[in-house]
Amino acid sequence: MRLSLQVQYAICGVFDLAYNGHGEPVQVRVISARQGIPARYLEQIFGRLRRAGIVASKRGPGGGYTLARSAATITLRQVVEAVAGPLEEGLAMEDEGPPSARAHRPDFLWLALAARLGDLLDATHFEQLCLEAARAEIPRVEAEAPMYFI
């Protein structure tokens, strides 16, 4: 099974916010450059993630995206379903062919697969991914020191 490019980009974008965001707004163009994702495409994906309550946006100078809640509460399943819809629908077999052929298919299997995959994705939080990335020595962007103007 292969995750769509849109889902892969969504996971990379949310991971980038969790790993490199430091709780501060990050512009899409910055995430885009760091992850190698087209900025316009990522903006569309982040719109879906925002509507799903996974990321929050801030407009204006110093604006960008942040995680809407802690990385410990955001699961891979939430991100996948925000972009691709419910797993059950994505794994269901198309209703093609005559009804007599569909009667002999193992359609029960698709729901069982969706449930198992859903359990795995539900058990994986972005906080865990950040810990694994740190163990794998994935380079992390340091938080910028605050600038004070007088």
Residue 48: CATH number of its domain = 1.10.10.10
Domain of residue 25, residue span: 5-85+125-135
Burial class (CB in 10 A: 0-12, 13-18, 19+), 23: exposed
Its pTM stands at 0.85
**What does the pLDDT look like over 80-128, one tens digit per residue?**
999 999 887 766 656 666 666 666 667 778 788 888 999 999 999 999 9
Q: How many domains does the chain have?
A: 1
Give the pLDDT confidence score for residue 62 in this predicted structure.
84
46 touches 55 (CB < 8 A):
yes
Task: Flag whether 147 is in a domain.
Answer: no
Q: Rounded to an integer, what distance in angstroms lies between the CA atom of residue 146 and that of residue 150?
A: 13
Asked if residue 110 belongs to a domain, the reply is: no
Does residue 141 sit within a domain? no
Res 40 pLDDT > 70: yes
Tens digit of each residue's pLDDT (9 = 90 or more) over 124-141:
999 999 999 999 999 998
